[in-house]
Amino acid sequence: MQTTIKTAISFSGAGLHSGQPATVTIRPASAHHGIWFSRSDVHVGDRLIPARWDAVNRSPLCTKLENASGLSVSTVEHLMAALAGCGIHNALIEIDGGEVPILDGSAAPFVRGIMQRGVRALAAPVRVFEVLKSVTVTDGDASATIAPSHTMVIDFEIDFVDAAIGRQKKTLVMNNGSFARELCDSRTFCRQADVLSMQANGLALGGNPGENAVVFDGDKVLSPGGLRHADEPVRHKMLDALGDLALAGAPLIGHYTGVRAGHSLTNTLLRALFATPGAVRMVECDMEMSARLPGYGLVWDEIPAVA
Query: Which entry of 89, 236, 255, 263 is annotated as an active-site residue?
Result: 263
Q: What is the DSSP string of 164-194?
A: TT-EEEEEEE--TTHIIIIITTPPPEEEHHH
Q: What phi, psi does 251 have (nearest 5°)?
A: -55, 145
Cross-strand partners of 232: none
263 is catalytic: yes
Beta strands in 7-104 (DSSP E): 9-14, 21-27, 35-39, 48-50, 64-66, 72-74, 91-95
Distance CA 290, CA 217 (A): 43
By three-state DSSP, how is residue 237 classified? helix
Minimal CA–CA distance to 40: which of 8, 17, 80? 8
Q: What are the helix (H) ranges across the chain?
A: 77-85, 108-117, 178, 192-200, 232-245, 263-275, 287-290
Distance CA 100, CA 164 (A): 29
Q: What is the DSSP string of 21-38?
A: EEEEEEE---TT--EEEE
The catalytic residues are: 263
